[in-house]
Amino acid sequence: MAETVISLTDLRKSYGSVTAVDGLDLRIERGQKVAILGPNGAGKSTLLNMVLGLLAPDSGELSVLGGSPKTALTKGRMGAMLQDGGLVDEVTVGEMARAMAALYPKARPVEDALAIAGLSELRDRRVGRLSGGQKQRVRFAMALVGDPELLIFDEPTVGMDVEGRRDFWKEASSLTAGGDTVIFATHYLAEADSYADRVVLLAKGRVVADGSIATIKSLVPFKVVECTLSIADVSVMNDLPGVTSARTRGERVILHSTDSDATLRALMDKYPDAHEFEVGGVDLEDAFVALTHGEG
């Protein structure tokens, strides 16, 4: 049986009259890359902050690596990469990493952390002279120096270019392949689609879906029908059999349908000049919208 690294039972957190996390139950096992997704206000940041020990829950049970978040952090067993803060512009990248490593009883060699984060050639550059994407890589190195077995990332690739994002996820995948666990929140749904082993989808402080990418997509009861059509009336498209929503992108018509066969037949009958048809399943963005907002 896989080892549980995070265990949440009936976890709750409110800010005055606003409920951010509402009776959340969750188990995360070792070696997974888990994406925590949800619209703004879903409770993602509150959840991660409680796991990190930055916020105390109002009620419920929370266990990280068999103990408290504080114990996991002070022992270097958990590392975090947050969106901002935590960097000193006046010091070099190497000095920053060495200072962080000195806080842990069993640190990873600083040069190893810098290499994993792609910073070896920037070790002598002052942090204040780095680009936004490079600063994100410094935060990645800071999360690694304690040699943690659990990593928490909040919007980790903000500011990175395409190559930087690919390199980041390649290294994150290597870490989980070695038995570490990565929990991340992101607004880049394509990244979650490509790299997550599991998705936990939140809405209004509750889990509305939990499973593999394929499982999440299968929960949406429609398919996507596309075609190329020079002149298309979206209001007419919405009246086609099975169609729950319609939109256009240039000359491309995109329909969500609960009966793709009926939709396709009606579309070909009404628009004989339509061509370049495609029928397929939803992507993660479609599933995200449908499951968190109830939209078809």
Token reading at 241: 């059999």
- Which residues, other chains included, contact 143 with Cβ-Cβ below 8 Å and sequence gap of 6+? 79, 80, 81, 151, 152, 153
Identify the CA nearest to 119 among candidates 74, 80, 83, 171.
171
> CATH topology for 220-293?
Alpha-Beta Plaits (3.30.70)
State the CATH architecture for 4-217: 3-Layer(aba) Sandwich (3.40)
Positions of CATH 3.30.70 in the chain: 220-293
Identify the CA nearest to 112 among candidates 88, 141, 152, 74.
141
Positions of CATH 3.40.50.300 in the chain: 4-217
Q: What is the pLDDT along the chain (296 residues), one digit of tens a residue?
A: 679 999 999 999 999 999 999 999 999 999 999 999 999 889 999 999 999 999 999 999 999 999 999 999 989 999 999 877 679 999 999 999 999 999 988 899 999 999 999 999 999 999 999 999 999 999 999 999 999 999 999 999 988 999 999 999 999 999 999 999 999 999 889 999 999 999 999 999 999 999 999 999 989 889 999 999 988 888 889 999 999 999 999 999 999 999 999 999 999 999 999 999 999 988 898 899 889 875 44
